[in-house]
Amino acid sequence: LIGHREDRWRAFGWAAARTDDVANLIPARISGILLCIAGGGGWRTMIRDAGNHASPNAGWPEAAMAGALSLCLAGPIAYDGVITAKLYIGDGRTDLTATDIYAALGIYRRACVLLLVIAGVLAWRL
């Protein structure tokens, strides 16, 4: 709950949470790009829906994965039995299955390999 946006927790860890937001600004977007490449799509969803997440950074990879898998993620959620309206990420199916998890893991693995290849090429060239 450090830096959580609820009034009760807002002051607790605010600076740490904002520092984390700034530190992950570029890595989150790179992650989204890598997931779109590895997943063979998802660009439109990532660009359109990344801002639908409460976190300034988490929406980028989440929207990229939703788009790559043609899924609809997030939306309304229950906190302590109270439904809270949240925006959707993606416009695909909402009925996720175990197959979607395996597909997401495949995209994730390919994105990791892609990152390692890019880092290796950059390290070799420098």
Cβ partners under 8 Å of residue 56, min gap 6: 21, 25
The more confident residue out of 56 and 110 is 110
Residue whose C-alpha is closest to residue 42's, from 112, 109, 117, 111? 111
Which residue reads 């990532």 in tokens?
A: 46
Q: In this predicted model, what pLDDT tens digit does every residue of 74-107 receive, in sequence order?
A: 999 888 889 999 999 999 999 999 999 999 999 9
Q: In this predicted model, what pLDDT tens digit does every residue of 70-83 receive, in sequence order?
A: 999 999 988 888 99
pTM beyond 0.75: yes
The more confident residue out of 19 and 97 is 97
- pLDDT band for 20, please (50, 70, 90 cuts): confident
- pLDDT band for 19, please (50, 70, 90 cuts): confident
pLDDT of residue 109: 99
Q: Which two tokens stand for residue 8?
A: 């009760």
pLDDT of residue 16: 79
C-alpha to C-alpha distance for 28 and 16, rounded to whole angstroms: 17
Structural domain boundaries in the chain:
25-125
| Average pLDDT of the segment spanning 32-56 | 95
pLDDT of residue 35: 98
